[in-house]
Amino acid sequence: MPNVTFSSPLLHKDVTVYAVAGDTKTILAVAEANKIPIPFECKDGNCGSCLVEVITLTGKTMGSMLTDKEKDLLKSLGKITAEDIRRAEVEDIAPRWRSACQYIVRDQDILVKFSGAPGSA
């Protein structure tokens, strides 16, 4: 089971929770289940309000598939490049910036940073 640590100025201190790898829960779903206040509006990958920075803490970095919506959104925000997308698709290396509603937690410990302001990590 992976540990997901949430870090934000909105939290009194970092919060680490256990997630079940393979149950297809997104970072946003894990956050909601544990009352972590990641801002969101649509939960569909269209708005960018749940932008987070994801840092792998243990093991090999494993990507979580970028949806077409997420690719377009993150490119428009200047958070990913064509090379980041290629590495995600070919080498299974996740980009640092993600939409919490789209990133599916995998079997690795991660740190999720967010500012608390919609669309800003």
Nearest partner of 39 among 104, 111, 99, 106, judged by Cα: 99
The whole-model pTM stands at 0.88
Count: domains in the chain:
1
Whether residue 84 is contained in a domain is answered as yes
Question: Does residue 59 sit within a domain?
Answer: yes
Query: Per the structure block, which two tokens stand in for 44?
Result: 């569909």
Q: How would residue 22 be classed by pLDDT, with cut points 50, 70 and 90?
A: low
Under 8 Å between Cβ of 88 and 94: yes
Q: Using alpha carbons only, what angle is made at residue 79 by residues 72 and 45, rounded to the nearest 5 degrees?
A: 45
- For position 117, what pLDDT does the model report? 75
Q: Averaged over 100-114, what is the pLDDT?
A: 91
In a domain, 121, yes or no: no
Residue 4 buriedness (CB in 10 A; 0-12 / 13-18 / 19+): buried
Higher pLDDT, 120 or 56: 56
Q: What is the CATH number of the domain that holds 27?
A: 3.10.20.30
Domain of 100 in residue numbering reads as 3-113
> Is 119 contained in some domain?
no
